[in-house]
């Protein structure tokens, strides 16, 4: 294998095509073609990671919804008393959604800390194992921002769903008498 430097403005694909027509016993490729073919493995790994991420997000959303439903169920008596004293449904709904947003934000902060710690441990282990400076786990600010934003949106959604279910129920049923 060897590389050929081209003059500025020369098309790598056309030079590779001309070389392939003239010479016998070798095949010329442009750098872009080589990079494209050699990166197919990384493309498969990237898709695999994306699939794992989607499954993780869906599972965490279901878990978050379950936690919020349980949390709201604990507040049934509180919601009944608030309704009996005249607190509007909208106010109860807003308070529960605000609480869900706070829980989601706290979970996102803790999750980010765990991810950064796990990434550092992963890098340290594999860098020592393979005696390299390659980075095996990279957590970028854009990934953190996306994750925190998604966590807050999912948390608010789960809280809103649970709160909507609670405020639709009659106060006597919430109190356990209806």
pLDDT of 100? 87
* Model pLDDT, residue 38: 62
Looking at residue 70, its pLDDT comes to: 85
pLDDT on residue 124: 95
Taking 90 as the threshold, does the pLDDT of residue 90 lie above it? yes
Query: What is the C-alpha separation between 150 and 96, in angstroms, rounded?
Result: 19
167 vs 134, higher pLDDT: 167
Residue 83's Cβ-count burial label (10 Å; 0-12, 13-18, 19+) is buried
Q: Look up tokens 């379950």; give the residue.
A: 66
pLDDT higher than 80, residue 133 = yes
Alpha helices in the chain (DSSP H): 12-22, 31-38, 40-74, 76-84, 89-130, 141-168, 171-175
The Cα 56–Cα 51 span in angstroms is: 9
End-to-end CA, the chain: 82
Check residue 85 and report its DSSP letter. T
pLDDT of residue 93: 94
* pLDDT tens for each residue of 27-71: 887 777 766 666 666 667 777 777 877 787 777 777 877 887 888
- Cβ proximity of 53 and 67 under 8 Å: no
pLDDT value for 30: 77
Please give the pLDDT value at position 42.
67
Instruction: Give the pTM.
Output: 0.65
Instruction: Supply the mean pLDDT for the chain.
Output: 83
**pLDDT tens figures, 144-170:** 888 888 888 988 988 898 899 889 988
Q: Which band of pLDDT confidence, cut at 50, 70 and 90, is reported for residue 120? A: very high
Q: How many other CB atoms are there within 10 angstroms of residue 107's CB atom?
A: 19
Average pLDDT, stretch 10-34?
80
């Amino acid at each position: 294998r060897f590389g050929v430097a081209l003059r500025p403005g020369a098309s790598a694909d056309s030079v590779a095509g001309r070389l392939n027509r003239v010479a016998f016993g070798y095949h010329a490729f442009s750098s872009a073609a080589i990079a494209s073919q050699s990166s197919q493995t990384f493309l498969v790994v990237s898709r695999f990671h994306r699939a794992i991420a989607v499954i993780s997000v869906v599972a965490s959303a279901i878990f978050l919804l379950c936690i919020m439903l349980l949390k709201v169920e604990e507040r049934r008596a509180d919601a009944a008393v608030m309704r009996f004293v005249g607190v509007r449904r909208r106010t109860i709904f807003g308070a529960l959604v605000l609480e869900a947003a706070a829980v989601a934000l706290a979970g996102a902060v803790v999750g980010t800390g765990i991810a950064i710690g796990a990434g550092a441990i992963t890098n340290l282990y594999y860098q020592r194992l393979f005696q390299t400076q390659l980075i095996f786990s990279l957590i970028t600010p854009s990934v953190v921002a996306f994750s925190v934003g998604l966590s807050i949106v999912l948390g608010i959604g789960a809280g809103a769903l649970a709160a909507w279910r609670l405020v639709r129920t009659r106060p006597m049923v919430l109190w356990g008498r209806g």
